[in-house]
Amino acid sequence: MENLSTLAVKSISKSFKGLKAVNDVSFHLKTGEILGLIGPNGSGKTTTINMVTGMLPKDSGHIEIDGQDISDVPAYKVPVYGLVRTYQKIRLFKNLSNLENVMIGAVGVGIKRREAAVLAASLLTELGLGDRINEPAQGLTFRDQRLVELARALAAKPKFVMLDEPAAGLNELETDELFALLKELPAKKNIGMLIVEHDMRLIMSLCHRLHVLNYGRTIAEGLPDDVRKDPEVITAYLGSAAS
Ligand SMILES: Nc1ncnc2c1ncn2[C@@H]1O[C@H](COP(=O)(O)OP(=O)(O)O)[C@@H](O)[C@H]1O
Ligand SMILES: [Mg+2]
């Protein structure tokens, strides 16, 4: 049996000049599991990911992986503990090759360059970019840039990956293809995946559990079918004119 790991987020909060962007949010994520972090625009999803991955200091709360407190680990070292992320806005080095971009993820966790190159090439091939390995990232379509970002995250051999709107900017077909790929990943690689996505149909079919934020607070969590029927969730989404 594969190792089971747990990421625990315990009562994290963050204020920006008096605005409680994230207010006492807790959740856990196990390897092999897909958790959807959803909520209207501005509800605190990105701020939550920023705090969990060490990119933004928390006002309070704790982050643990298998009971080990990583609350004060600096962002650049968090991947060493098995936690990586991708960004709502793509962040690739456009002048580097796709291989080099993906290698950064591996080298960042201490994998030697030679092994990193082999791993990066294999991940790019797995994601369908095997023939673009040595091209500069700037030549890629938007969809392929998103895949390179995903490959870079996976190159750190993570236990947990947090994807902030990975389908942003993709058309419907590209989005469906990406989600089909994402659905396979957690079981295939024994990774716990947290994903932020606005499309309710997609998120419902992808995720094992959902965690819903509104104005920085948790308003519901649980199985997709239960969360969908939750009156507070329905009101929050109607209020934001999303479906
Ligand atoms: N760096 C920041 N400075 C000030 N306010 C911020 C900052 N980042 C986010 N916010 C505010 O915090 C709230 C939550 O933002 P965010 O986490 O980006 O929401 P989401 O990702 O759910 O759309 C919003 O009201 C946003 O304007
Ligand atoms: Mg966001």
Which of 125, 157, 189 is the endpoint of a domain?
A: 157
Q: Are 76 and 165 in the same domain? A: yes
pLDDT digits (tens, 9 = 90+) for 110-163: 999 999 999 999 999 999 999 999 999 998 999 999 999 999 999 999 999 999
pLDDT of residue 243: 43
Measured between alpha carbons, how far is 67 from 57 in angstroms, rounded to an integer? 20
Other CB atoms within a 10 A radius of the CB of residue 130 amount to 12
Entry field: residues in the chain: 243
Q: Are 63 and 174 in the same domain? A: yes
Which of 157, 172, 207 is the endpoint of a domain?
A: 157
Q: Are 149 and 222 in the same domain? A: no
H or E stretch covering 180: helix 172-189
Q: Ligand 1: distance of its center to the CA of 47 in Å?
A: 6
SS3 163: strand
Q: Are 146 and 207 in the same domain? A: no
Q: Are 165 and 228 in the same domain? A: yes
Counting from 1 in the atom list of ligand 1, the atom nearest the Cα of 40 is 22
Ligand 1 binding pocket mutation candidate from 15, 43, 47, 212 (most atoms within 8 A of CB): 47
Task: Identify the CATH number of the domain in which residue 165 sits.
Answer: 3.40.50.300
- Of the ligands numbered here, which is closest to the C-alpha atom of 55? 1
Q: Are 7 and 107 in the same domain? A: no
Q: Are 3 and 78 in the same domain? A: yes
Q: Are 75 and 166 in the same domain? A: yes
pLDDT of residue 151: 97
Question: What pTM did the predictor assign?
Answer: 0.94
136 close to ligand 1 (CB < 6 Angstrom) = no
Q: Are 72 and 167 in the same domain? A: yes
User: With a cut of 50, which residues of the chain have pLDDT below it?
Assistant: 242-243
Q: Are 69 and 129 in the same domain? A: no
46 close to ligand 1 (CB < 6 Angstrom) = yes
pLDDT of residue 136: 94
Q: What is the tally of structural domains in the chain?
A: 2
Closest C-alpha to ligand 1, atom 25: 42
pLDDT of residue 242: 47
Q: Where does the chain show beta strands of DSSP type E?
A: 6-16, 19-30, 34-38, 60-65, 68-69, 83-86, 160-164, 192-196, 209-214, 217-222
45 close to ligand 1 (CB < 6 Angstrom) = yes
pLDDT of residue 239: 66
Domain assignment of residue 22, given as a range: 1-82+161-243
Which of 140, 157, 174 is the endpoint of a domain?
A: 157
Q: Are 45 and 69 in the same domain? A: yes
Closest C-alpha to ligand 1, atom 18: 46
Instruction: Please give the structure tokens belonging to residue 6.
Output: 């747990």
Measured between alpha carbons, how far is 30 from 34 in angstroms, rounded to an integer? 8
Q: Are 170 and 51 in the same domain? A: yes
Measured between alpha carbons, how far is 62 from 64 in angstroms, rounded to an integer? 7
